[in-house]
Amino acid sequence: MRALNIAATGMLAQQQNVEVVSNNLANMNTTAFQRRRTEFQDLLYDNLRRVGSTSAEAGTVVPSGVQIGLGARLAAVYRIASQGNLSSTDNPFDLAIQGKGLFPVDLPDGTRAYTRDGTFQLNADGQVVTHDGYPVGPGLTIPADAVDVVINQSGEVLVKQQGQVSLQNVGQFRIVSFPNEAGLEAIGANLLLETPASGAPAEGAPQDQGYGGILQGFLETSNVNPVEEITNLISAQRAYEMNSKVIQTADDMMGTLSNLR
């Protein structure tokens, strides 16, 4: 009986849907987290009577045929790259990108990752690093005698050193963009990796054409909407229950057949 297998694929698809929703809710307080959305596809069809086939020697054509679907499957989990809210922190090394762009991060193995999480700090050498100690490209270093640090919207790092009146420019943050940001591979720790689907990164300065600006003392919050996620969770739960009901009904029908005398 096809209904058993069809409903089973529906239950599996909704289970995966719930897992995506639960991950969104678990990361609703994660800095710069971008929520995910599930997309489903129908499976192959069993053609009991093929559409467009001839039904008589006169050449009459079957207008619709008989196609029995075999269920559903998870096709993709999209990353929704909408801007999250901006939260003030008053920390000079907390940075938020207002608009398009990602911060480049150099990993210990020599590869480059990307993130919108701007919770940066200084290491023992005065270098700007992530909370895991990874240097932020292009390798900015703050002098040890700096008494004030100003980062403008163009990403320029201006420091006031001991005994000086004017601010000194010690470097500039760079940000990158991708043709298909949804194609980046998430590896955890708020980091993303380039893939063939994302395309090659294009690097530029903040506020250049096509790039967002940098806000000092702000962090981008998660773009997860708890009300929307709870609604999706209820919808997935009801769909799961309906598919389980189909399995129960198919089992009852098979029981009826087996009890015939």
Of 178, 156, 182, which Cα lies nearest the Cα of 169?
156
- CA-to-CA distance for 82 and 70, rounded, in angstroms? 35
For residues 162 and 28, which has the higher predicted lDDT (pLDDT)? 28
Tell the burial category of 188 from Cβ atoms under 10 Å away from its Cβ (0-12, 13-18, 19+): exposed
Q: Which two tokens stand for residue 167?
A: 């601010």
Q: What is the pLDDT of residue 243?
A: 94
Cis? peptide before 63, omega within 30° of 0: no
* 150 and 97 inside one domain: yes
* 66 and 94 inside one domain: no
The count of other CB atoms within 10 Å of the CB of residue 12 is 16
- CA-to-CA distance for 250 and 140, rounded, in angstroms? 65
Does residue 257 surpass a pLDDT of 90? no
- CA-to-CA distance for 121 and 132, rounded, in angstroms? 10
Of the chain, the percentage scoring pLDDT greater than 70 comes to: 100
Q: Which two tokens stand for residue 92?
A: 């000079």
Q: Residue 83 to residues 74, 89, 219: CA-CA distances in angstroms?
A: 26, 18, 11
Q: What is the pLDDT of residue 139?
A: 86
* 104 and 186 inside one domain: yes
Band of pLDDT at residue 56, cut at 50, 70 and 90:
confident
* 90 and 216 inside one domain: yes
* 93 and 43 inside one domain: no
Contact assessment for residue 190 and residue 84, using Cβ atoms and an 8 Å cutoff: no
Q: Which two tokens stand for residue 258?
A: 């087996």
* 212 and 98 inside one domain: yes
* 251 and 169 inside one domain: no
pLDDT single digits (tens) 217-248: 999 999 999 999 999 999 999 999 999 999 99
Does residue 261 surpass a pLDDT of 70? no
Q: Residue 92 to residues 155, 167, 249: CA-CA distances in angstroms?
A: 13, 15, 62
> CA angle 170-129-23, nearest 5°?
140
Q: Structural domain of residue 25, as residue ranges? A: 2-81+224-258
Q: What is the pLDDT of residue 108?
A: 93
Q: Which two tokens stand for residue 173?
A: 């943050």
- CA-to-CA distance for 149 and 129, rounded, in angstroms? 15
* 164 and 58 inside one domain: no
Number of domains within the chain: 2
* 43 and 76 inside one domain: yes
The count of other CB atoms within 10 Å of the CB of residue 6 is 19
pLDDT single digits (tens) 85-101: 999 998 999 999 999 99
* 97 and 202 inside one domain: yes
Task: Compute the average pLDDT of residues 180-187.
Answer: 93
Say whether 156 sits in a helix, a strand or coil. strand
Contact assessment for residue 212 and residue 101, using Cβ atoms and an 8 Å cutoff: yes
Task: Compute the average pLDDT of residues 19-33.
Answer: 96
* 216 and 112 inside one domain: yes
* 184 and 141 inside one domain: yes
Band of pLDDT at residue 63, cut at 50, 70 and 90:
confident
Least confident of 64-73, 105-114, 150-159, 237-246: 64-73
